[in-house]
Amino acid sequence: MSDSSTNFAGDLRSALSPAQVRGWALEAGFTEAGLVALPHAAQTRDAERFEAWVGAGNAGSMHYLERRSEDGRLLRARVAIPFPWARSAVVCFAGYQSPQPLSTVPAEAAAGWIARYAWSSRKDAEGRRRPSDYHKVLKKRLAALEERIRSAQPGEFEARGYVDTGPVVERALATAAGLGWIGKNTCLIHPKLGSFGFLAVLLTSLPVESSKVLAALAPDRCGTCRRCIDACPTNALVAPYRMDATRCISYLTIEHKGQIAEELMEGMGRQVFGCDICQDVCPWNSPRRTPIAADPELEPRAELVNPALEWLSCLDDQQFEQQFNGSPVRRAGFDGLRRNIAIAMGNSGQSRFAPVLEQWAAAPDGGLRTAAKWALEKLRPF
């Protein structure tokens, strides 16, 4: 993204139109988009909530969420802290709902689960299906959107685009842009698209046309429902709208490195990368309500839907790279994924996994070794 800087105060020719920007975002390949002027009305409330969440230790080992400016302020608390020039944010939504079964649908005892978003793939020039990383896919679309905006502007402006990697809280900006509300499971829920969607943000130094009416904030429609809270097997949703990430299966299987607390292992079930449970039980993601996303760059890989634990466990380091290079699954790391597989094996009740678990119980990696020993005890007698 570009880094040019110009003062556009009072230059209405350079102001962004919500409807026009949304149209350009859809042309770039996004499912939906919204525009919000910065600072937005709920900025102080959102900053205070984020600061309290981090202060309570809920970020666990995700220390990047705790990064601060030179004067000690949390970078992600307010957009203006890392980006004082930002006057608007385009927030884009890319749906990844698919017709494949949910994680809550009964499956074979020897099957694991990889989070829906990580199934993504595309066909290469020879027609072969290859892993695709949504970060790269959506970053290209943000670049195309930025270029389209630049082509319509009379002068230079500053812009930065992020897909889960920048010092911004995407969900907060998405609600301010009218794309939905934050549900009790802490996910953004779009009233027509549900919560199976990626968020991408383009910050710009351009103002928003004051004569245009921005999208109204979506009302909270969770009501009295608490299916997500009741369904979370590790009790990560400590209260409505409050998550302790250190207990979240997605955090444990992806972000957390090393040993996992034994009291959490049974609740992790068959999840080997990420978790969809709190979204799968959400009525707003019902197949009757949420449209299937048709995105050629984010199509599901069949082998990653209810993957066989035996297949995953047989991958060596090189095969792991071949299968997941360019895939979000690579973030867990080779030993991290095997640690998660060991826990899923222990929860499977399948004694046939004992031989591989015995090998892993002597592994150099402490996280894998501890998980394998726990799984063996869980499967005894075998």
pLDDT of residue 161: 97
Q: Which residue has the tokens 């800087």?
A: 5
At residue 126 the predicted structure's pLDDT band, cuts being 50, 70 and 90, is confident
The Cα-based distances of 172 to 304, 324, 369 in angstroms read: 31, 31, 39
Which residue of the set 164, 276, 317, 365 is catalytic?
A: 164
Q: Is the dihedral of CA 177, 62, 327, 162 positive or negative?
A: positive
User: What is the percent of the chain where pLDDT is above 90?
Assistant: 88
Whole-model pTM?
0.92
pLDDT of residue 49: 94
pLDDT of residue 356: 98
Starting at the earlier edge strand, list the strands of the sheet with 120-123: 129-131, 120-123, 299-300
At residue 2 the predicted structure's pLDDT band, cuts being 50, 70 and 90, is very low
At residue 212 the predicted structure's pLDDT band, cuts being 50, 70 and 90, is low
Domain ranges across the chain:
12-99+129-204, 227-288+298-379
pLDDT for residue 13 is more than 80? no
3 a catalytic residue: no
User: What is the percent of the chain where pLDDT is above 70?
Assistant: 95
